[in-house]
Amino acid sequence: MKVKVITSLSFMLFVCAISLGQMSEYNYKIELKGVTNDWHRIVLPNSVFEELDTSLNDIRIFGITAENDTIEVPYLLKIKSEKIKNTTIRFRKINESFNASGHFFTFEIPSETPVNIIKLDFEQQNFDWRVQLDGSQDNKEWFTISKDYRILSINNNLSSYQFSRISFPDSKYRYYRVFIETKDKPILNSATIDFKETKEADFQNYEISKFQSSRNSATKKTEIEITLKERIAVSLIKLNVEDSFDYYRPITIQYLTDSVETEKGWKSNYQTLSTNTLSSIEESSFRFKSRLLQKLKIIIYDGDNQPLAINSVETKGYMHELIGRFTQPAEFYLVYGNDKPMKANYDIAKFANNIPEKSTELQLMQPQLIEKTATNSMGPLFKNKIWLWLMMGLIILILGYFSLKMIQK
C-alpha cells in the first residue's frame, strides 16, 4: 500500500512538472480578461512583435485552473490581409477600326456581368499611348467610362516595363470600346476582361523614428534608410514622390537581418523583400509578405536621370489576431518569446470553416516577465531536456517494478 501511494505521488509530480514547464519555456506573459464564451479573438499588440521569433511560432495561450493545472488553448493565427477574387469574363472581339484620330477595338460580353479590368497585350514592345474607354448597351449610343488613360511599354537593353491594364469602376455594359489615340497601328495580340473583387486589408500605420536619404553618384542610385520606432510586422511601403514629371525607376526594398562586427567596423546584412518598378503612372505603394523588421533600405536605380524628390515614406502592416477556443474555466495568459520555437499543431486548423466569423475580443493586461523555475540551476545534466525525461522515466519504471513485486507478494 505504501509503495502504491509513493508511485501515485511520483506520477502526479511528474505530470505537474511537465505541464508547469510549458509556460516556463517562454519569456513573457499577458493576462487575458473577459473570457465568457467558447470562442474569443486576441488582437496582438505591437509590443509583442518585439520579442517574437520571425516565424511567429513562439505564441501560446495557457490557462491555470483552480486545481493549479496548466491547460493549453488551441488557436488559429489570422493575418488580416486583403482578399482578392478575380473572375475572367467570356467575351468576343466584334470590331476593329480606325480614323484620323486613332484606332478602335470593340468587345461584346454576351451576359450582364460586371467588369472593372481590361488587359491588353500588343505586339509592339515600345509605346506610350492615351486611351479612352466607352460602354454601350446597343452598340449605338456610347457612354464614357474612362478618359485620357495612359498605357506604356518600354523594352530595351537596360530595362523592361509594361503597363497596359485599364482599371475602371464596376460597369455593366454589353459592349466596350477601347479608343487608342495614335497614328501607328496597334497590333493587338490578345485581351482579357476581368471582374476583380477586393476586400481591403486591416492596416496599422507604424511610426518612423529615423529617415535618411542619400545619393550615390558613382552607382547612380538613391538609397533611403528607414528605422522604425520598434520591431514590427511590416507588409506595405508607400513612397510619397513630390515630382510631377514622368518617371519609371527600378526599385529594391530590403530589410536588415543582422549586423556583424568586423575589423573595419560593423557590417549590416540585408535581405530583399521586393523588387519592382516605381512609376509615375502606377501607385507608389508596394505590398509583400508580412515580415518582422525594424530597419529598411530602399534602393532606387536612377541611371542618368535626376533623383526623385521623396521626402517621406509610409510603413504599414496587417493586423494580426488569434482566434482561440476556450472550453475550461481558468486564468488565461498569452505567452510568447522562445529561443527555439515549435510550431503549434491544433485540430481547429483543419476545421477553420467551423469557427464563428464573429467573436468577442479579449482585454490584454500589461506584459510580465515569466519567472524561471529553480531547476535551471541544477547543473549541466538537467539543462538538456532529454536527460530530464530519461531520469523521470527511469524513476517511474523503478517504482512500477517494486509496485508489481508488492502486488505479487
pLDDT along the chain (409 residues), means of 10: 44 42 85 95 94 92 94 95 94 94 95 93 95 96 96 85 94 96 94 95 93 92 96 96 92 92 83 93 92 96 93 94 95 93 90 90 95 57 64 82 75
pTM score, whole prediction: 0.78
Q: What is the CA radius of gyration of the chain?
A: 31
Supply the pLDDT for residue 63.
Answer: 95
> Which triple of cell numbers denotes residue 183?
497614328
Supply the pLDDT for residue 264.
Answer: 78
CB 252 within 8 A of CB 272: yes
